A and B are shown apart, each in its own frame.
Chain A
Amino acid sequence: MSKLSLGGTASSGKLKSWVQPSFGGLIESSGQSNCSSKKGQRKTGEGKGKGQLLGSDSGSSKRSNKRRADCEASDFQSLCQEVSPTDQDEPWVDKHRPSSQAELAVHKKKIEEVENWITFHLDSKTMNKGGTILLLTGPSGCGKTATVQVLAKELNYQIQEWTNPSTLSEFRCDDSFRDAFDPHSRFNGFQGTSQTGAFQEFLLRANKYNRLQMTGDSKGTDRKVILVEDFPNQFYRNPGCLHDILRRFVKTGRCPLVFIVSDSLSGDRGSRLLFPREVQEELNISNISFNPVAPTSLMKVLSRIATSEAGKSGGRNLVPDKAALDLLCSGSSGDIRSAINSLQFSSLTDHSLEKSLWAAKKGKSAAAPKKAGPKPKAKSRSSKSADPLEESQAIGGKDASLFLFRALGRILYCKRESFEPSEAPELPEHLSEHKRDKLLVDPELVVERSHMSGEFFSLYLQQNYMDFFSDVDDVARASEYLSDADFLTAEWSSRSTMLEYGSSVATRGLIHANSARAKADCQTSVGFRPLHKPHWLLVNKKYRENCQAAQSLFISFCLPPVGLQTELVPYLAKLNNPMRNPAQIAFLQDVGHLPLRKFPGRLKLEALGDKDPGLLDEDTDGEDPARDHLHAKETTDPGPEAEPTPSCSQDAGADLPMSQPQPITSEALLDDEDLLIEEYESD
């Protein structure tokens, strides 16, 4: 029986008898099996050499993982399909793992890029020059790991993968009792190994030794790549730790090291934290960033799997029709793993609950093409482009989320499509200027998925909308809507409710006001416009700080703030009155004078990268020493008009004289003052 050759089947058959099914319901167990199967997939692919590197620990954890996955899978299948237990217990994700480049759903260029890097660095000529590092980034389920594994097969190299040891206690379970009484054991180096230490050791060993020749390992190549997907937690807390290890690796390493990091929206976790740009440059890390799987290639894979499964199962599996595949495809937002998992789930038959889900979904998917009747071509294309935002799915749908950059782009570029005149009633004559084509984005959904409060989102819009407008009248209307949005949230008691309305007004207002983009056919491409981070928070913070500083510095004048800021300080700057302390002088230099040049250069535009989380600290009260250090560096920077930098220089620091004083009137005291200012800063 060929079925016996499937590794998991035999064991699952055995296991079924002594492991209690832990999940009763179909939904839970299937969900569970999906996620554990993901784990399983990675574990199975990670090469057998690891066991010997990490000792029994990781081996056993792997085994237990595997066992769990298997039993859950078997559990799942035993519930929903009693007839043939053998055919379906392996998740399709594993079963249909890509085995060649052609099967990969990744764009050819990307594969080629990775392939080139690996072949180049595996080459024995370049190998001795030290370790080289590749960083693969991209959303989850876009085929990063699969690409590396497929290439391993084709280029004939081995993969050694690091997994976080789940617990270190297994090392010493035997002598834990003795440990308790032995004062020296605590200082015994091996047992106290942290994950970081273990990681370092792993790198060292993987670097030095080839793996053992196991029986059954036919291809004995000593070319290998180290793969790291799991990071010890310590690295998230203290990325410098990782960087130190990597620096050492780069000096001594002999084989390529590949890191795989999934993009995350929440910002602080991920490639930007672990591999900041300076480090990437310093260590010469090449970064290849994957995109979500394109709908067409996703579709191709799904239909391939569906047909092959249908052929195998002989009618027990219901093959989803094209529309259903479309729906799966759009619901997964480019995550091929979840798409296949939901395909597997949705194609199971003879379960009542599942059927009803299908029915609901079918009704929905059937309704969609009907609407598109007269113009199927344009409709299908457009609906595909808009779908990830619009359709929600009954099963396996993934929460689509947007990076801020793209979310802003959706609002600012506001795609529209033309619609049939019959579909909507014509606007009366006097309102004809407000006629707009159908909008392809749902602004509320965009804001919701941008992982940002509506207020912040409006700030970003306010910073950037001007570039997309060409007519002053439109700008006036747009700015009016923004003003409305702020006004709506003015009352603090109702703010939590009104925030959503506010952002809705702001986004829809902006979109509607842009009359140049009112028609689908005359949406002239404005081209790429860089987006920037909003200035307002910085300005507002500076305003408050300056006001406070003014009041504390000139408190002896006993003036109300407005009089102080608009009369006393500006005139004091004009008088050559000897001030008592250097802080006052510095403040007058900075705040009392305004540059009467044409373009103010103080505010630097900070470009918003396409993967920036874009979260701003609204008011940071506590300044940490690192940030102070940053400011100290900034002040030594001579040019007030610095290039847009990605560094986090949002807040201008608590000390005022930090920012560049801009003397425009030459005063006799100038030299002395400069000296004094310097002294003050060094405090």
Chain B
Amino acid sequence: MSLWVDKYRPASLAKLDYHKEQANKLKNLVQCGDFPHLLIYGPSGAGKKTRIMCLLRELYGAGVEKLRIEHQSITAPSKKKIEINTIASNYHLEVNPSDAGNSDRVVIQELIKTVAQSQQIQSSTQREFKVVLLTEVDRLTKDAQHALRRTMEKYMFTCRLILCCNSTSKVIAPIRSRCLAVRVPLPSVEEVCSVLASVCKKEGLQLPAELARQIAEKSGRNLRKALLMCEACRVQQYPFAADQEIPETDWEAYLRETANAIVGQQSPQRLLEVRARLYELLTHCIPPEVIMKGLVTELLSNCDGHLKGEVVQMAAYYEHRLQLGNKAIYHLEAFVAKFMAIYKKFMEDGFDNFMF
């Protein structure tokens, strides 16, 4: 039994549930059997990957769905061995170069070179190019992005690149200009609801419309999350109730508790406890950026309007440092401490005003 997310993933461009106009355009794009390099971007859970796979299927047929996981090791010029996992079919290769950390440049150059240099044997029945799908391009180092730019031109004849990322702001302009950019926006709440309803129908379940709406709103229109939530609801309670509590992930609940702990008391001891909780979150694979974002959201809902501006500004400041610095905990802790200080001062002032 696979997850609903995978089970009911549309397999062809025609079967997509939303953004149908865009799907049509994509279909027309590959009609002639060729396409330019693509840069597909949009928020997480919008369906980028689904669209890419549909596109590849349109191009190569069902063969692209036979995936195999390959473990490749690449030797850098400095004799350092880099291990990386790739997912490949006969026609395409998917790789996340940022897995290799600082050596992502080598991965890009070597992998694409090997793919591009191997010619297709039967070019009559197949396309004369292969597709390399690079995910998380926005997390590539500048070095790697520049290497990518060169590679794109060099191997245009034998290979096409599809780049996938959340935001183009971190992709350098030369790459953006070499690709056809396609933005995949999030589905609207209604679209999420309809997808949920159709999935439940296929599963043979009754999904109340209110619950679907709640799930859609709570998931932040992230369709993957919405489907996972829906499935979790199903595990939690069936038949569905309209006002059923939607299960949230442990880390979200944990983060909210952490935020409450911060608001509840402002003292060095409490900060120590918060630090331990932050460590706990980190060891559970929650990235520091996500922690910071979640923390700010929770804290904002807890604090007075006067403070909000300041808190957000602070969060932006430390989030920036988080990206630049080495050790996330310094910056997370500094943010929490700063918030505590501000909040305490605010509460004390408020108390004074109240008294006199």
Binding site for B on A (CB under 8 A): 455, 459, 462, 466-467, 469-473, 475-476, 478-480, 482-483, 485-487, 489-490, 535-536, 539-540, 542-543, 546-547, 550-552, 555-563, 565-578, 591-596, 599-600, 602-603
A552 lies within 8 A of B85 (CB) = yes
Q: Which residues of A contact B267 (CB under 8 A)?
A: 472
A487 lies within 8 A of B321 (CB) = yes
Most central of B69, B268, B285, B287 by chain A CB within 10 Å: B285
A458 shortest CB reach to chain B, Å: 8
A618 shortest CB reach to chain B, Å: 11
Beta-carbon nearest neighbor of A573 in chain B: B250
B contacts with A: majority SS: helix
Beta-carbon nearest neighbor of B227 in chain A: A571
In chain B, residues 63-100, which have Cβ atoms closer than 8 Å to a Cβ of chain A? 67, 69, 85, 87, 94, 96, 99
A123 to B44, CA, bound (A): 80
Query: Given the interface contacts A479-B338, A486-B326, A594-B281, does A557 sit within 8 Å of B6 by beta carbon?
Result: yes
Query: Given the interface contacts A560-B135, A596-B254, does A566 sit within 8 Å of B290 by beta carbon?
Result: yes
Beta-carbon nearest neighbor of A463 in chain B: B275
Which of B44, B229, B268 is in CB contact (< 8 Å) with A466? B268
B284 lies within 8 A of A576 (CB) = no
Q: Which residues of B contact A600 (CB under 8 A)?
A: 276-277, 279-280
Q: Which residues of A contact B273 (CB under 8 A)?
A: 599
Which of A485, A490, A556, A574 is in CB contact (< 8 Å) with B249? A574
Interface size on B, residues (CB 8 A): 70
B235 lies within 8 A of A575 (CB) = yes
A contacts with B: majority SS: helix
Q: Which residues of A contact B286 (CB under 8 A)?
A: 565-566
Q: Which residues of A contact B280 (CB under 8 A)?
A: 594-595, 600, 602-603
B283 lies within 8 A of A570 (CB) = no
Q: Is B178 an interface residue (CB 8 A)?
A: no
Q: Which residues of A contact B285 (CB under 8 A)?
A: 543, 546-547, 550, 565, 569, 591
Q: Is B325 an interface residue (CB 8 A)?
A: yes
Which of B6, B268, B338 is in CB contact (< 8 Å) with A470? B268
Beta-carbon nearest neighbor of B165 in chain A: A560
A483 lies within 8 A of B321 (CB) = yes
Q: 20 A-B residue contacts at CB 8 Å?
A: A466-B268, A466-B269, A475-B340, A479-B330, A480-B337, A483-B330, A487-B324, A536-B327, A539-B329, A552-B85, A555-B87, A556-B67, A557-B3, A563-B44, A563-B224, A569-B285, A571-B228, A571-B231, A591-B285, A595-B280
Q: Which residues of B contact A475 (CB under 8 A)?
A: 268, 271, 337, 340-341
Q: Which residues of A contact B17 (CB under 8 A)?
A: none
Query: Given the interface contacts A551-B85, A594-B280, A599-B273, does A560 sit within 8 Å of B96 by beta carbon?
Result: yes
Which of B49, B282, B324, B327 is in CB contact (< 8 Å) with A558? B49
Q: Is B257 an interface residue (CB 8 A)?
A: yes
A656 shortest CB reach to chain B, Å: 10
Beta-carbon nearest neighbor of B342 in chain A: A476
Q: Which residues of B contact A567 (CB under 8 A)?
A: 45, 222, 224-225, 228, 249
4 cross-chain pairs, A with B, having the tightest CB-CB distances, nearest first: A570-B249, A476-B341, A483-B334, A571-B228
Q: Is B333 an interface residue (CB 8 A)?
A: yes
B99 lies within 8 A of A578 (CB) = no
A486 to B250, CA, bound (A): 30
B338 lies within 8 A of A539 (CB) = no
Beta-carbon nearest neighbor of B341 in chain A: A476
A216 to B171, CA, bound (A): 90
Q: Apart from A476-B340, A480-B337, what are 18 other A-B pairs with CB-CB below 8 Å?
A: A462-B329, A462-B333, A466-B269, A472-B340, A476-B337, A476-B338, A478-B337, A483-B318, A483-B330, A483-B333, A546-B283, A555-B85, A555-B87, A558-B87, A574-B249, A577-B3, A578-B1, A603-B276
Q: Is B241 an interface residue (CB 8 A)?
A: no
Q: Is B136 an interface residue (CB 8 A)?
A: yes
Q: Which residues of A contact B341 (CB under 8 A)?
A: 472-473, 475-476
Q: Which residues of B contact A592 (CB under 8 A)?
A: 250, 284
A479 to B336, CA, bound (A): 9
A603 lies within 8 A of B279 (CB) = yes
Which of A489, A542, A566 is in CB contact (< 8 Å) with B287? A566
Most central of B250, B287, B345 by chain A CB within 10 Å: B250
A557 to B45, CA, bound (A): 13
A571 lies within 8 A of B229 (CB) = yes
B283 lies within 8 A of A543 (CB) = yes
Q: Is B344 an interface residue (CB 8 A)?
A: yes
A486 lies within 8 A of B330 (CB) = yes
A567 to B285, CA, bound (A): 11
Q: Which residues of A contact B44 (CB under 8 A)?
A: 560, 562-563
A325 shortest CB reach to chain B, Å: 45
Q: Is B155 an interface residue (CB 8 A)?
A: no
A412 to B330, CA, bound (A): 17
Q: Is B266 an interface residue (CB 8 A)?
A: yes
Q: Which residues of A contact B275 (CB under 8 A)?
A: 466
B162 shortest CB reach to chain A, Å: 13
A543 lies within 8 A of B318 (CB) = no
Which of B252, B271, B338 is in CB contact (< 8 Å) with A480? B338
B158 shortest CB reach to chain A, Å: 24
A417 shortest CB reach to chain B, Å: 26
B41 shortest CB reach to chain A, Å: 12
Q: Which residues of B contact A574 (CB under 8 A)?
A: 232, 235-236, 247, 249
B216 shortest CB reach to chain A, Å: 15
Q: Is B209 an interface residue (CB 8 A)?
A: no
A547 to B101, CA, bound (A): 13
Beta-carbon nearest neighbor of A570 in chain B: B249
Q: Is B331 an interface residue (CB 8 A)?
A: yes
Which of B99, B284, B328, B344 is in CB contact (< 8 Å) with A472? B344
A17 to B338, CA, bound (A): 77
B284 lies within 8 A of A571 (CB) = no
Q: Is B272 an interface residue (CB 8 A)?
A: yes
Q: Is B18 an interface residue (CB 8 A)?
A: no
A642 shortest CB reach to chain B, Å: 16
A226 shortest CB reach to chain B, Å: 50
B326 lies within 8 A of A576 (CB) = no
Q: Is B60 an interface residue (CB 8 A)?
A: no
Q: Is B251 an interface residue (CB 8 A)?
A: yes
Q: Which residues of B contact A562 (CB under 8 A)?
A: 44, 287, 290
Q: Which residues of A contact B3 (CB under 8 A)?
A: 557, 572, 575, 577
A532 shortest CB reach to chain B, Å: 11
A609 shortest CB reach to chain B, Å: 21
Q: Is B156 an interface residue (CB 8 A)?
A: no
Q: Is B30 an interface residue (CB 8 A)?
A: no
Which of A466, A483, A536 is in CB contact (< 8 Å) with B272? A466
Q: Is B307 an interface residue (CB 8 A)?
A: no
Beta-carbon nearest neighbor of B228 in chain A: A571
Q: Is B253 an interface residue (CB 8 A)?
A: yes
Q: Which residues of B contact A576 (CB under 8 A)?
A: 235
Q: Which residues of A contact B232 (CB under 8 A)?
A: 571, 574-575
Query: Given the interface contacts A560-B44, A563-B224, A600-B280, does A482 sit within 8 Å of B268 by beta carbon?
Result: no
B251 lies within 8 A of A566 (CB) = yes
Beta-carbon nearest neighbor of B276 in chain A: A600
Q: Which residues of B contact A565 (CB under 8 A)?
A: 285-287
A292 shortest CB reach to chain B, Å: 34
Q: Which residues of B contact A552 (CB under 8 A)?
A: 85
A546 lies within 8 A of B284 (CB) = yes
A628 to B3, CA, bound (A): 36
A596 to B249, CA, bound (A): 11
B87 shortest CB reach to chain A, Å: 6
A550 shortest CB reach to chain B, Å: 6
A413 to B281, CA, bound (A): 31
Most central of B67, B69, B224, B330 by chain A CB within 10 Å: B330
A591 to B6, CA, bound (A): 22
A478 to B235, CA, bound (A): 47
Q: Which residues of A contact B268 (CB under 8 A)?
A: 466-467, 469-472, 475
A492 shortest CB reach to chain B, Å: 9
B331 lies within 8 A of A483 (CB) = yes
A542 to B273, CA, bound (A): 19
